[in-house]
Amino acid sequence: MLTEFRNTLRRSRGAIIGWGLSLGALGYFMMGFYDTLVEQRSSLEQLLANYPPEFMAFFGSTEDMFSPAGYLSVEFFALMPVVLGIFAVTAGSSLITGDEEGGILDLVMSYPVNRSSLFFGRLLGFAVTLAAILGITWLAFIGGVAASEGMDIPPVELMRPFINLYAVIFLFGTASVLLSMLMPSRSIAAMLAGMLMVASYFIQSLSTINDDLKRIADFLPLKYYQSGYALEGLNGDWLVGLFGFGLLFAVLAWALFLRRDIRVSGEGNWRLPFRLSFGKK
């Protein structure tokens, strides 16, 4: 398990550095604009009032975007489940089936490694990769807060929305791992997980202005995502729920992996029960 964990981390180091530094740089510079934003509050409020509510719905509540929590939500955390979610679903779908489709798993699984060790070693590597990306970003945020005059958030409080964000992207990641065990190929699993994630984002965002969508949004993970408002305190039940479903998806994926035929070159793929044909007969 330790070998697979280390190997997964080694393979993810580029992603950790790339995503971590990019998001960190974004966060750091974003903090610098907070003071300016507060200074120009009245003109910005006027500007925001002119935007259609359908557009503003995607930024969360803008009523208090001049508070640190509101600002972090609108400028960063509202979009992050989708931005970092793209990494999570791509990495999640590749966690097992990437190597399987590349023929690497065929060799690795011929070694004395049991399936559970391989699965959980990789899953742990994936979980730590996500934590490392958010950890680097959090450190950059701490730097940004220190450089800002108007922001005064202790590092531990600043960690809260990152924990909340971690729970959501971990859930998207494990859902993608599960789909990769169910779908005929890694790319279909990633596509489906990505579609579910984006649809979830749209429905949750628009549910703030549409009552019909509210009922659907209750079943979506982003409903239980607090965004930047987690600064004011984490909702323990929601957090446990998000982590709980993330772990449930991981356990289901593991159970499927235990029973799985390791594929090579498309061997053992299931197919659609009908033929898709375009144009030619």
Partner 1 sequence: MSDTAILTQALTKNYGRVQALRGVDLEVNQGEIFGFLGPNGAGKTTTIRCMLDLIRPNSGTLRLLGLNPQSDPVTVRAKVGYLPGELAFEGNVTVEGTLRYLASLRGNTMDWNFVRQLAERLELDLKPQFKNLSKGNKQKVGVVQALMHRPELLLLDEPTSGLDPLIQQEVLKLIREARTAGATVFFSSHILNEVEEMAERVAIIRKGVVVETAEVNSLMRRSVRRAHIHFEQAVEVNGLKNIQGVTILSRAATSINLQIEGGMDALIKSLAKYPVRDFETERPSLEEIFMAYYEEK
Q: Are 76 and 141 in contact (CB under 8 A)?
A: no
Half-sphere exposure of 149 (CA within 13 A, CB side): 5
Q: Which stretch binds partner 1 (CB under 8 A): 15-23, 54-62, 97-105, 163-171?
A: 97-105
CA 165 to CA 224: how far, in whole Å?
10
Report the residue from 46, 50, 271, 275 that binds partner 1 according to the rule CB under 8 A: 271
18 binds partner 1 (CB under 8 A): no
The position carrying tokens 């749209």 is: 202
Q: Are 34 and 71 in contact (CB under 8 A)?
A: yes
For the chain, give the longest Cα–Cα distance.
Answer: 68
Report the residue from 43, 49, 215, 259 that binds partner 1 according to the rule CB under 8 A: 259
Reduced to 3 states, what is the DSSP secondary structure of residue 210?
Answer: coil
Binding characters for partner 1, 131-150, by CB under 8 A (x = yes): --------------------
What residues contact 280, with CB distance under 8 A and at least 6 apart?
Answer: none
3 binds partner 1 (CB under 8 A): yes
Report the residue from 113, 131, 198, 213 that binds partner 1 according to the rule CB under 8 A: 113
Return the DSSP state at 84.
Answer: H
Report the residue from 47, 114, 147, 244 that binds partner 1 according to the rule CB under 8 A: 114
Report the residue from 17, 104, 209, 255 that binds partner 1 according to the rule CB under 8 A: 104
18 vs 102, which CB is nearer to partner 1?
Answer: 102
Minimal distance, residue 176 CB to partner 1, in Å: 21
What residues contact 132, with CB distance under 8 A and at least 6 apart?
Answer: 12, 16, 20
What amino acid occupies position 128? V
272 binds partner 1 (CB under 8 A): no
11 binds partner 1 (CB under 8 A): yes
CA 192 to CA 187: how far, in whole Å?
8
Q: Considering CB under 8 A, how many residues would be counted as binding partner 1?
A: 24
CA 281 to CA 270: how far, in whole Å?
23
Question: Can you give the C-alpha Rg of the chain in angstroms?
Answer: 21
Report the residue from 102, 155, 233, 244 that binds partner 1 according to the rule CB under 8 A: 102
Q: Which stretch binds partner 1 (CB under 8 A): 33-41, 168-176, 231-239, 268-276?
A: 268-276
Q: Which stretch binds partner 1 (CB under 8 A): 79-87, 146-154, 201-209, 258-266?
A: 258-266
Reduced to 3 states, what is the DSSP secondary structure of residue 183?
Answer: coil
Q: Where on the chain is the footprint of partner 1 (CB under 8 A)? A: 3, 7, 11, 102-104, 106-115, 259, 261-262, 264, 267-268, 270-271
